[in-house]
Amino acid sequence: MMQLCPCGSNESYQNCCQPYHQGTLWPRTAEALMRSRYSAFALQNADYLLKTWAKTTRPGQFSFEKGLIWQGLEIVEVVKGQIKDKRGQVHFKASYRLEPNESGILEELSQFKKDSAGHWMYIDGEIF
């Protein structure tokens, strides 16, 4: 049975974010990077999250909150961040459940830029 990608693309994980997580492809747009980072959060792939975080803002270490389950991603707006751009913004809402019985929505305006190799990187985000 096909496993759908956590990013909400309605594609299989194998044909969507998995190649990014495995390092065989790099996201070509800021939105693709944002979606792949959401999937990495959902799948608890800290290595990918750190690899795609700009060196200037990357934390020294990263851990996942115990009992936190990401349940869905909604892209609200994308500003620039296309193949030919050097910067971009992605406004998103991510729903979550925190065991045992809390749920909510994280809303963020994320900032992205291309590094010297031309790869999109996450800089930081403003949480609403």
Tell me how many helices (H) and strands (E) the chain has.
Answer: 3, 4
Grade residue 1 by pLDDT with cuts at 50, 70 and 90.
Answer: low
* Domain that includes residue 22, residue range: 13-127
Percent of the chain having pLDDT more than 70? 99
In a domain, 52, yes or no: yes
Residue 61 is predicted with a pLDDT of 86
pLDDT over 80 at 15, yes or no? yes
Average confidence (pLDDT) over 108-116: 97
Q: What is the pLDDT of residue 62?
A: 87
CA–CA gap between residue 75 and residue 1 (Å, rounded): 27
Distance CA 104, CA 128 (A): 13
Amino acid symbol at 75:
I
The rounded distance, in Å, linking the Cα atoms of 48 and 36 is 9
Residue 105, token pair as written in the block: 């929505």
In a domain, 118, yes or no: yes
34: domain CATH number is 3.10.450.50
Q: Which residues face 86 on adjacent strands? A: none
Measured distance CA(92)–CA(105) in Å, rounded: 10
In tens, the pLDDT along 45-95 reads: 999 999 999 999 999 888 999 999 999 999 999 999 999 999 999 999 999
Is 54 contained in some domain? yes
| Residue 127: pLDDT over 70 | yes
Q: How many domains does the chain have?
A: 1
Does the residue 3 lie in any domain? Answer: no
Domain presence at residue 7: no
Residue 6 covered by a domain: no
In the prediction, which pLDDT does 99 show?
83
Q: Are 7 and 19 in contact (CB under 8 A)?
A: no
Residues in the chain: 128
Local structure of residue 124 (DSSP, 8 states): E
User: pTM of this prediction?
Assistant: 0.95
Q: Identify whether 102 is part of a domain.
A: yes
Distances (CA, A) of 3 to 6, 14, 58, 66, 98: 9, 8, 30, 23, 23
Query: Is 8 contained in some domain?
Result: no
Q: How far apart are CA 83 and CA 50, in angstroms?
A: 22
